[in-house]
């Protein structure tokens, strides 16, 4: 039984004995005592004044005296107006630390056969260019969210929908046909996604030049766009693709294959993965069939121009196009088709879409449409909406000069980690170049991930690579360094033969109690992060724990402590701080190095 439950029951028992009243557990308002006051937990007594018929201070005093006399867990109390501050006995914190130490998966809950199945969609790239800065935030949020949902006892399926069809894909294909000279990733030495991205840029460059030439001949911009031979060829290629033309389909398959190979390398390096990948080329026809089925059932309606619409005005929204007059699909149709396939593949209880906030309305509509089509989880789908991410102007340029490639940013982060470490005096002296390179990789990518995830996902954010690798602030490297410190102390303790498994000191300091309180909070933090869909809650908890431990490390002796029981206890505390930091960072998809 956790401490909050014990205190809750003690308050209920005290109220009954003092005032003869039965109260429900939810009437008991317990919160952590604010730092400026003495105590561990604070009880709000105002709800009990009608029962006591006394002033707040007298009521708090009576309840405090009763609990202190009957509950050994409570070592003392103090009253401030209508608030009762309860201090927990140090012996309880010592016992609690032993419990935490004996629970390897402290803070997390494993799924079982009866657990709900949650599907999380993230990434959603286009196959005409590499993953970019926006994709990094999306992937990191989606992966961390999946871990947090799983840590709350759910079964999780991580999924991706690849946008592999459409005019934008044909632009890259056409450019490669015209100017590629048979270039491949192998012949060019480029990652496949970068190679295809270069041809997408090439198309745009030639298209703009063509428009300029047509406008110089007297056409307006709109006329030039309509008359563009290059765009007409791209549209013709899309028509051939839709018709299943073997030559176009073979080229499409080959070039997409290059892109997927490139994506896989980026995903692996970023440390994210998927259980199931869906492709728009498979789902758009499925969506069309589902919409036509909804049309037959009277869920949707057809207009005179043959287009198919959903009327959502009764739901406070507008009318939504689902199939164009020529029968072709829109994005909403594709999402319905993807949902249809997913529902067929998995017994989904909840669906979470990790997509930027510019799509808020889209998912509001999708939720209603899926519900009308009979998907059990449609109305309850979650759109995990997040803000934009930008870099400070001039900090880093991509090969296109506009969008920052994910690979370039990861390279920059690892380089910055190396430079920062060397500026601090070569913390990694004594390691081989390969070992040092691996730690720089862990630090650099940890800095990137933590900086992205510590911010409330709903907010737009500015990502500063240099600021993210500060070893002393609210950063990934600071937390990683704290973990490495705990591991160093454990190794030295083991070498000295210190056994901390049964550490029972006579007394412990307030700072040690504060750290155990934080460790005790971890399960609740994980639960709250799962309820709120908030990786930032885990990130900021990890920082608070690292900061609290570092203050303790600087103020108290650990390995040099003369009292054997106290030394063993502090090593046990250190071990569990390291364990919880590692668990928290793993939930965020962040590695922690054994030394730094």
Residues 214-245: tens digit of each pLDDT: 999 999 999 999 999 999 999 999 989 989 99
The closest of 99, 103, 144 to 120, measured between CA atoms, is: 144
At 176, phi and psi to the nearest 5? -65, -40
Residue that terminates a domain, selected from 270, 291, 312:
270
Query: What sign does the CA torsion over 64, 69, 70, 74 have?
Result: positive
Give domain status of residue 258, yes or no: yes
What tokens does 260 get?
């997927």
**Is there a contact between 548 and 581 (Cβ–Cβ < 8 Å)?**
no
Percent of the chain with pLDDT over 70: 97
495-520: per-residue pLDDT in tens? 999 988 777 887 899 899 999 999 99
Q: How far is Cα 89 from Cα 85, in angstroms, rounded to an integer?
A: 13
Residue that terminates a domain, selected from 49, 73, 88:
88
What tokens does 25 get?
């557990």
The closest of 541, 559, 458 to 500, measured between CA atoms, is: 559
Parallel, antiparallel, or unpaired for β 83-88 and 319-323?
unpaired
363-422: per-residue pLDDT in tens? 999 999 999 999 988 989 999 999 998 887 654 444 445 578 999 999 999 999 998 888
> What does the pLDDT read at residue 397?
47
Give domain status of residue 333, yes or no: no
- Cβ within 8 Å of residue 204, ≥6 positions away: 171
What tokens does 502 get?
């049964």
Give domain status of residue 586, yes or no: no
> What does the pLDDT read at residue 425?
65
Find residue 206's DSSP bridge partners: none
Give domain status of residue 202, yes or no: yes
pLDDT mean across residues, the chain: 93
**Is there a contact between 290 and 299 (Cβ–Cβ < 8 Å)?**
no
78 lies in the same domain as 170: no
Q: Can you list the pairs that 474-478 forms with residues at least 24 positions away whose Cβ atoms lie under 8 Å?
A: 474/540, 474/543, 475/447, 475/450, 475/451, 476/443, 476/446, 476/447, 476/448, 476/449, 476/450, 476/451, 476/585, 476/590, 477/417, 477/420, 477/443, 477/446, 477/447, 477/596, 478/543, 478/546
Q: Return the residue matching tokens 């979470």.
A: 352
- Could you give the number of structural domains in the chain? 2
* Helices 406-423 & 433-453 angle (0-180, nearest 10): 110
> What does the pLDDT read at residue 490?
96
Give domain status of residue 233, yes or no: yes
Find residue 321's DSSP bridge partners: 309
Q: What is the DSSP string of 481-550?
A: HHHHHHHHHHHHHHHTT---TT---S---HHHHHHHHHHHHHHHHHHHHHHHT-HHHHHHHHHHHHHHHH
* Helices 246-270 & 192-216 angle (0-180, nearest 10): 120
Rg (CA), the chain: 30
Query: What sign does the CA torsion over 141, 145, 148, 150 have?
Result: negative
The closest of 354, 351, 418, 375 to 118, measured between CA atoms, is: 351
Q: How far is Cα 281 from Cα 129, in angstroms, rounded to an integer?
A: 17
Q: How far is Cα 316 from Cα 299, in angstroms, rounded to an integer?
A: 16
Give domain status of residue 66, yes or no: yes
Angle at 590 between CA 587 and CA 591, to 5 degrees: 115
Tell me which residues of the chain have a pLDDT lower than 70: 1, 393-402, 425-429
Angle at 196 between CA 195 and CA 202, to 5 degrees: 95
**Is there a contact between 185 and 195 (Cβ–Cβ < 8 Å)?**
yes
Q: How far is Cα 198 from Cα 543, in angstroms, rounded to an integer?
A: 40
> What does the pLDDT read at residue 312?
95
**Is there a contact between 546 and 478 (Cβ–Cβ < 8 Å)?**
yes
> What does the pLDDT read at residue 79?
96
Give domain status of residue 297, yes or no: no
> What does the pLDDT read at residue 327?
82
25-57: per-residue pLDDT in tens? 988 999 989 988 999 999 999 999 999 999 999
> What does the pLDDT read at residue 578?
98
CB count in 10 Å sphere of residue 92: 18
Predicted TM-score of the model (pTM): 0.91
169 lies in the same domain as 258: yes
For 19, the domain range is 3-88
**Is there a contact between 284 and 334 (Cβ–Cβ < 8 Å)?**
yes
What tokens does 500 get?
């901390």
Give domain status of residue 196, yes or no: yes
119-134: per-residue pLDDT in tens? 999 999 999 999 999 9
Residue that terminates a domain, selected from 30, 59, 88:
88
Domain CATH for 31: 3.30.1360.70
The closest of 103, 108, 160, 263 to 586, measured between CA atoms, is: 108
The closest of 250, 287, 280 to 166, measured between CA atoms, is: 280
* Cα dist from 552 to 32, 570, 574, whole Å: 20, 10, 10
| DSSP 3-state of 77 | strand
Q: How far is Cα 173 from Cα 200, in angstroms, rounded to an integer?
A: 8
170 lies in the same domain as 255: yes
């Amino acid at each position: 039984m956790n401490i909050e439950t014990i205190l809750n029951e003690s308050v209920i028992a005290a109220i009954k004995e003092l005032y003869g009243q039965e109260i429900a557990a939810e009437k008991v308002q317990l919160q952590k005592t604010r730092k400026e006051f003495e105590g561990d937990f604070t009880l709000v007594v105002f709800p009990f004044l009608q029962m006591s018929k006394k002033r707040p201070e007298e009521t708090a005093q009576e309840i405090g005296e009763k609990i202190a006399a009957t509950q050994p867990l409570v070592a003392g109390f103090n009253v401030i107006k209508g608030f009762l501050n309860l201090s927990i006995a140090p012996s309880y914190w010592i016992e609690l630390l032993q419990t935490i130490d004996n629970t390897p998966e402290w803070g997390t809950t494993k799924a079982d056969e009866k657990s709900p199945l949650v599907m999380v969609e993230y990434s959603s790239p286009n196959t005409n260019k590499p993953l970019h800065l926006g994709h990094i935030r999306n992937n990191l949020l989606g992966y961390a969210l999946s871990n947090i949902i799983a840590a709350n006892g759910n079964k999780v399926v991580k999924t991706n929908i690849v946008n592999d069809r459409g005019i934008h894909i044909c632009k890259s294909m056409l450019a490669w046909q015209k100017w590629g000279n048979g270039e491949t990733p192998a012949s060019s030495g480029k990652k496949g996604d970068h190679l295809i991205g270069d041809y997408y840029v090439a198309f745009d460059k030639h298209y703009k030049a063509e428009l300029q030439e047509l406008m110089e001949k007297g056409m307006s911009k709109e006329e030039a766009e309509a008359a563009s031979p290059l765009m007409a060829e791209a549209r013709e290629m899309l028509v051939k693709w839709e018709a299943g033309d073997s030559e176009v389909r073979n080229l499409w398959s080959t070039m997409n294959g290059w892109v997927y190979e490139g994506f896989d390398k980026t995903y692996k390096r970023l440390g994210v993965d998927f259980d199931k990948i869906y492709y728009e080329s498979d789902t758009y026809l499925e969506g069309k069939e589902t919409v036509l089925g909804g049309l037959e059932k009277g869920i949707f309606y057809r207009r005179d121009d043959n287009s198919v619409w959903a009327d959502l005005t009764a739901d406070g929204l507008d009318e939504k196009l689902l199939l164009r007059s020529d029968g072709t699909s829109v994005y909403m149709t594709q999402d319905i088709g993807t949902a249809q396939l997913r529902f067929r593949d998995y017994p989904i209880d909840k669906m979470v879409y990790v997509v930027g906030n510019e799509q808020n309305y889209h998912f509001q509509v999708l939720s209603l449409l899926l519900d009308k089509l009979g998907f059990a989880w449609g109305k309850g789908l979650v759109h995990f909406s997040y803000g934009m991410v930008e870099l400070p102007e001039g900090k880093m340029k991509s090969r296109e000069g506009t969008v920052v490639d994910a690979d370039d940013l990861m390279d920059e982060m690892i380089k910055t980690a190396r430079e920062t470490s060397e500026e601090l005096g070569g913390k990694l002296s004594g390691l081989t170049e390969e070992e040092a390179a691996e730690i720089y990789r862990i630090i650099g990518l940890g800095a990137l991930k933590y900086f992205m995830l510590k911010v409330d996902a709903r907010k737009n954010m500015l990502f500063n690579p240099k600021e993210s690798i500060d070893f002393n602030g609210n950063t990934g490297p600071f937390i990683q360094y704290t973990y490495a410190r705990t591991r160093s102390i454990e190794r030295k303790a083991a070498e000295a033969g210190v056994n901390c498994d049964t550490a029972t000191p006579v007394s412990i300091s307030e700072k040690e109690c504060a750290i155990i309180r934080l460790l005790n909070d971890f399960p609740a933090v994980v639960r709250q992060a799962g309820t709120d869909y908030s990786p930032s809650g885990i990130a900021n908890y990890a920082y608070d724990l690292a900061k609290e431990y570092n203050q303790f490390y600087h103020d108290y002796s650990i390995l040099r402590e003369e009292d054997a029981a106290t030394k063993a206890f502090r090593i046990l505390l250190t071990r569990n701080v390291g364990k919880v930091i590692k668990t928290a960072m793993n939930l965020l998809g962040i590695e922690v190095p054994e030394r730094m």
